[in-house]
């Protein structure tokens, strides 16, 4: 299994502002934080609940439409 760690380029990007709050939200429901990585495209764009719905509805990434073979749940 591959694990990617993404770090901000500078300390300013560590500060959360209003714009970045939206970037942390699920792109399907816009209510919960993103917490699932889709394999093979490696997009982390949905919460666990919406990821389950995506998998049940045909397993295509909502960002790039790549077929999802598995998921990785990330907890912060």
Provide the whole-model pTM: 0.69
Q: In which element (H, E) is residue 37 found? A: strand 36-39
Fold of domain 23-73: Herpes Virus-1 (3.30.40)
Partners of 71 in beta bridges: 38
Distances (CA, A) of 45 to 10, 11, 29, 74: 22, 23, 10, 11
Asked whether residue 6 carries a pLDDT value surpassing 60, the answer given is no
Map out the domains of the chain as residue ranges: 23-73
pLDDT at residue number 75: 83
Tens of pLDDT, residues 9-66: 444 444 444 455 788 999 999 999 999 999 989 999 999 999 999 999 999 999 999 9
**Cβ atoms of residues 51 and 43 within 8 Å:** no
């Amino acid at each position: 299994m591959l694990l990617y760690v993404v770090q901000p380029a500078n300390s300013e990007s560590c500060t959360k502002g209003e714009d970045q709050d939206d970037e942390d939200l699920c792109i399907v429901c816009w209510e919960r934080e993103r917490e699932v990585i889709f394999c093979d495209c490696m997009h982390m764009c949905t919460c666990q609940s919406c990821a389950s719905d995506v998998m049940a509805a045909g397993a295509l990434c909502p960002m790039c439409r790549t077929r999802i073979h598995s998921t990785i749940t990330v907890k912060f």
